[in-house]
Homo-oligomer: A and B are copies of this chain.
Amino acid sequence: MGVDLRSMLNPKSVAIIGASQNPEKVGHIILQNYINSGYAGKLFAINKDAESILGVKAYRHIGEIKERLDLAVIAIPAPFVPQVLEECGKAGVRSTIVVTAGFEEIGQKELQDQIVEISERYKMPMLGPNCLGVIDTRARTDTLFLPTYKLSKPGVGYVSFISQSGAAGSTILDLIAGEGFGLSKFISYGNAAYIDESDILEYLMNDDDTKVIIMYIEGIKNGKKFIEVARKVTKKKPVVVLKGGRTSVGQQATLSHTASLAGDYQVYEGIFQQFGFTIANDLNDLLYYAKTLVSEPAPKGNRIGIITNGGGAGVITTDAVGYTRELKLAELSDKSKQLLRKKMPPLVNIRIPLDLAGDAGGDRYETAVAAMRDDPNIDMIIVIALFQTPGADSGVVAKLVHFKADIEKPMIVISIGAEYTQIHNRMMEESGLPVYDSPSAAVKALAELYKYYNYKGRK
């Protein structure tokens, strides 16, 4: 069954150990974030001196709380963590998140072993130490100790994100929010002393609110356990993985970060490929791939139709298709050719990429998308909309969003530019239409979509 993370992600009652009146302290920020996110369960603050913090009643010890506690979030200096965990165990706390750093990652292995022993003794699952904790957008749970004004928090969605690194995690969260597509869960697991990446992967595999999993990992705690889960998870949903420490210099760097023995990347890559994981090579890839995997249906084949209002962008996108191993450029069916020739102005060449020209507005896009939607020679559609051109405006956006509602083929957009463009991109993203700011990223995302469903179909 694996570890049940419900008491962490969706707790009915939470105690913040190390809650503080000082707004710069981690314990203060965590309590504040719980309050801000609209958490509906019971909140308790543990602090030796205060009567109450941020309007929440404070207790000196966790033992003084006479209610069942689903979760204790621990934000106190490392040397005091064992004693507090012992108290949590005695008080019957169901699970803990230790955000405190200063354990194995700086050589304090004994201290870490000690907190694992206590957690195991009380059968009390622990996340961390040295982690950011969790977000569950539906349960309105947020243990992140980062000031709210510094990062946008994503809305409710279907992508869940596992990160070994806290800072990389918060950066990606910020990007997800900025791009306007939603999050289901975020789990930062740090040193993986008790709960590791395999436990989390297994939990998310069975979570109905998670359609795509993205993960940043530096090492794998238990290879055999990971392979067991890896074998199953991609049959149910796609997993995009970015591995830190892929090169020998990178491996040295992971050692002092999360104490991970990164190991030979060839081995990891072999496992990822064998089990149909989607492999990312940079932080941004995680988003690029997740965006299309979470919103697009399985493609029937690998033939790409391209619609554009700028010839150069059409050529560059066509080149990107030509460079993939997986995809090929579609050819219009005779029926589509006749239809388009009849409806398009004479300057438009009837071929793929279909260049609608710079004065193209919503109507020309509508004709083009409808033709490609109905064309049996085309499996996936890339729509390039350059909003610097005279014809492209919110009328184009309206048509594309309208089509997106009932098209059964993958359809994504490339749109590149500054302010005016960003406004339109945001509209499309929020209507569930994936938008890419680079032709090669868009094409790679479709190639990964194709690869994933191709893998899944073979299983």
Q: Which residues of A contact B (CB under 8 A)?
A: 24, 101-102, 106, 145-147, 149-152, 163-171, 173-175, 177-178, 216, 218, 242, 244-250, 252-254, 256-258, 281-284, 309-316, 318-323, 328-329, 346-347, 349, 351, 353, 355, 358, 386-390, 416-421, 437-440
Contact = CB atoms under 8 A, between A and B. Distances in A.
A445 to B, nearest CB: 14
Contacts of A418: 151-152, 174-175, 177-178
Given A322-B250, A355-B257, A390 B146 contact: yes
A246 B322 contact: yes
Contact of A165 (B312, B387, B419): B312
Q: How many copies does the complex hold?
A: 2
Given A174-B416, A249-B322, A256-B349, 8 more contacts: A106-B347, A165-B311, A167-B313, A171-B310, A173-B388, A244-B312, A246-B323, A283-B316
B152 A283 contact: no
A321 B388 contact: no
Most chain B Cβ neighbours within 10 Å, of A246, A313, A321, A417: A417
A323 to B, nearest CB: 6
Contacts of A253: 311, 314-315, 318, 353
A319 to B, nearest CB: 4
Most chain B Cβ neighbours within 10 Å, of A312, A346, A437: A312
Contacts of A316: 168, 242, 244, 250, 282-283
Contact of A358 (B152, B166, B177): B166
A417 B315 contact: no
Given A106-B347, A150-B388, A169-B312, A319 B249 contact: yes
A344 to B, nearest CB: 13
A74 to B, nearest CB: 17
15 contacts: A24-B390, A150-B387, A150-B390, A167-B311, A167-B312, A168-B312, A168-B313, A170-B388, A173-B388, A174-B416, A178-B419, A218-B315, A245-B319, A247-B321, A256-B349
A175 B257 contact: no
Contact of A438 (B283, B390, B417): B283
A178 B417 CA distance: 7
Contact of A171 (B147, B256, B313, B314): B313
A167 B387 contact: no
A310 B165 contact: yes
A291 to B, nearest CB: 15
A319 B166 contact: no
A205 to B, nearest CB: 23
